[in-house]
Structure 1
Amino acid sequence: MADILILNTGGTFNKRYDEISGELFVPQDEQAVEAILAELRGNLAFRLVGLIHKDSLAMDDADREQIAQTILAAQESKILIVHGTDTMHLTAAHLAARCPGRRIVLTGAMKPYAYDRQEAVVNLALSLGWLIAGEGAGVHIGMHGLVRPHAGMVKDRVRGVFRAV
């Protein structure tokens, strides 16, 4: 059994540029997350699952329930979710109600990994390290140097970062 379940749901973290259409899109793959995980060293046992593959603004309650059902069916008690930042708080609240007894962290990036790797790598590594280092259930958000209970983090659209409240 894996130590940690990593769910990749899409969001800006995963976006890439389509040279034909001239637009950013959320790909139907795990390329960005896989690239980061390939660089990590150690004895971490994880299972990566691609799910939904949407911009978070396009996510709805059915998508959030799909995430919850995937977590509830999983053997792992520690869950990392790569998620779009615009509705991360909505998914976190849904999971807090639906998935008790799990240690869950949602993370993402304000810029695509394909264009600015540093933020995505730091946010994913921060969140993963926090999951590994501690015990206890709850739903958290891991962004911009902080991992806090989901209700204690907000996206500061003026500064372009997540901050504690």
Structure 2
Amino acid sequence: MKVSIITTGGTIEGLDYSNELSQPLTVGVSIKDLLSRIESDTSYEVIPLFSKDSRFISEEDLKTLVRRIKTIENNKILITHGTYTMVETARYLGRLNLNKTIILTGAFILGTEENTDADSNLKFAISQFKEQKTGVFIAMHQSVFNWENVRKNIEKNKFETLLSM
């Protein structure tokens, strides 16, 4: 199995945006470095698209993301993304019915930190390509959410289902 990984920035890449500016305060870690730390029989193609705090992803950035997705022949696409607006991006992509399996993942703890959740979220998200059919999903902390039925609970700092389906 081959997965095309589009990188867009965020905490998973160890980028610290705590100054609330669009430019990170720290140098991050590459997704390729994170991939080297997890065990998987999956092959990858890493496609850096941009490196932003997701709060600063614009409509034009989303259009660029969609154009890139459409040019990828592979139908298994993982997007590494900041958690602030991950749900909004998932909804944007889900409404387009792109006829691919698209999974978004990220991290709550900087990818450069020793106790990061980046590795486990990345590994889990990749494993979900064997489980999920065509559509758009968020995979975080051993849970998968459909784009139509997810929210980020800011108080609990986790993603959760909106309603029982």
**How far off its partner does 1:34 sit?**
1.3
Deviation at 1:116, TM superposition (A): 4.4
Match of 1:125 in 2: 123
Partner of 2:61: 63
Give runs of aligned pairs for residues 41-56 of structure 1, distance below 5 A. 41-56=39-54
When residues 17 and 109 of structure 1 are mapped into structure 2, their CA distance, relative to the original with a 3 A threshold, is closer
Paired residues, number: 159
1:15 is matched with: 14
Please, what TM-score do these two structures have when normalized by structure 1? 0.85
Cα distance change of structure 1 residues 60 and 40 upon mapping to structure 2, 3 Å threshold: same
Pairing 1:1-165 to 2, within 5 Å after superposition = 3-16=2-15, 25=24, 31-131=29-129, 133-165=130-162
Instruction: Verify the 8 A CA contact 1:10 1:26 in the aligned structure 2.
Output: no
Query: CA RMSD for the aligned pairs?
Result: 2.5
- Deviation sequence 1:67-98 (CA, Å, 0-9, x none): 11111000110010000111111111121133
Letter in 2 for 1:100: L
The percent identity for this pair of structures is: 25
Structure 1 residues without counterparts, runs of 5 or longer: none
TM-score normalised to the size of structure 2? 0.85
Structure having the higher helix fraction is: 1
The letter of the residue matching 1:3 is: K
Structure 2, unmatched stretches of 5+, are none
> Given the superposition, is the C-alpha separation of residues 97 and 151 from structure 1 closer, same or farther in structure 2, using an over 3 Å criterion?
closer
Higher strand fraction (1 or 2): 1
